[in-house]
Structure 1
Amino acid sequence: MATAKKTVNVTTIGFTKTSASHFFDRLRLAKVRQVVDVRLHNTSQLAGFAKADDLAFFLREICGAGYRHEPLLAPSEALMTMYKKEKGEWQEFSRQFLQLMASRQVEQKLKPAVFDDSCLLCSEARPHHCHRQLVCDYLNDRWGGALKVTHL
């Protein structure tokens, strides 16, 4: 008898264009156990309440959740420069980012269980045109749809 494949519930969230109250309420209501930070830089002063050390504290105190920075799932500095600073095309960014994920073999270095009841964090307010969506799509493609993704 074949065993059923376990579906892993994962959410995604951005921290810009929202208040800290709304941000943490969404995480708490989604019962997030861990935030997986997929930003390249997580210590910028511009991140406000989402600066790494502060975010870890707030998550623990407000949501009872953990924090994990996972730069393996972040774009390279060159890709970020091409897309953000040089106003590159989304399609080209997506193509290069997916190639980067494949070259890093992230699907072999991480397991679906890492994402169970976790939330991928990036700065973008919405998931479209954000690499957190690409991360979910890439891993779902490699893991046979193991992730059930909800965008908060």
Structure 2
Amino acid sequence: MQIHTLSAYETTAQEFFGKLAEWDADLVLDVRLKNTNQLAGFTKRDDLAYFVEKIQHADYAHDVLFSPATTVLERYLRGTMDWEDFFANYHREMVQRDAVPQFFEKYGRYQSVAIVGTATQKRRSHVEILQQMIEDSQAGLPDTALEQVTARDEAADAAREAEKEARRHHRKSA
């Protein structure tokens, strides 16, 4: 099973569904706590469920088992809790809820899962923590640590920058 993360914010429908197609996602798992207001645009729960089925021919599930507690999320969004504290609180919640084993019970039959969260250019999302916890479990590794997620993020950022630079170089030489 491949696990991917995707933000419902700061993205176009073309980018969003392009990623789903690239990943050949057969499940879009929406783990946002609040996904029904008009500000969600095309990623509003009922609209997203429709589009995922019609465009990607995949299943859609909204599952708040994997959402952070409202109080923790609000503190993080307001800036009164930093990423490290948010990570620790969310991680603890997922362990207490026995979330990762439940993920495999509910969604283990899928091959490519896109988990939808709320990352922005300025704010990280709980989905990256959840992704790492699931991947660690699949690999039989010990529980996720903040350092692992940070290292993976830094490696992904470096790869994206290298890809951008390669494209720039290719355009200049063409």
**TM-score normalized by structure 2?**
0.72
- In 1: Cα distance, 2:125 partner to 2:69 partner: 14
1:117 Cα offset (Å)? 1.0
Alignment equivalent of 2:132, drawn from 117, 137, 143: 137
Matched, 1:79 2:72: yes
1:141 partner letter:
D
Asked whether the 8 Å contact 1:10–1:115 carries over to 2, the reply is no
1:115 Cα offset (Å)? 5.2
- In 2: Cα distance, 1:66 partner to 1:46 partner: 23
1:65 Cα offset (Å)? 1.2
Alignment equivalent of 1:89, drawn from 63, 82, 102: 82
Asked whether the 8 Å contact 2:32–2:67 carries over to 1, the reply is yes
Moved more, 106-115 or 59-68: 106-115
Identity %: 27
Aligned to 2:168: none
Alignment equivalent of 1:10, drawn from 3, 17, 28: 3
For 1:99-138, list aligned pairs within 5 A. Answer: 99-111=92-104, 113=108, 116-125=111-120, 129-138=124-133
Asked whether the 8 Å contact 1:37–1:68 carries over to 2, the reply is yes
1:30 partner letter:
W
Alignment equivalent of 1:34, drawn from 27, 33, 37: 27
Report the aligned-residue RMSD: 2.1
1:114–1:85 CA distance, 2 compared to 1 (3 A): farther
Q: Which runs of 5+ in 2 are unaligned?
A: 142-151, 157-174
1:28 Cα offset (Å)? 1.3
Higher helix share: 2
1:114 Cα offset (Å)? 5.0
1:98 partner letter:
H
- In 2: Cα distance, 1:125 partner to 1:65 partner: 25
1:86 Cα offset (Å)? 4.1
- In 2: Cα distance, 1:88 partner to 1:116 partner: 35
Q: Which has the higher contact order (CA 8 A, sep 6+)?
A: 1
1:71–1:115 CA distance, 2 compared to 1 (3 A): farther
1:76 partner letter:
A
**TM-score normalized by structure 1?**
0.82
- In 2: Cα distance, 1:38 partner to 1:113 partner: 16
Matched, 1:50 2:43: yes
Asked whether the 8 Å contact 1:94–1:134 carries over to 2, the reply is yes
- In 2: Cα distance, 1:114 partner to 1:11 partner: 16
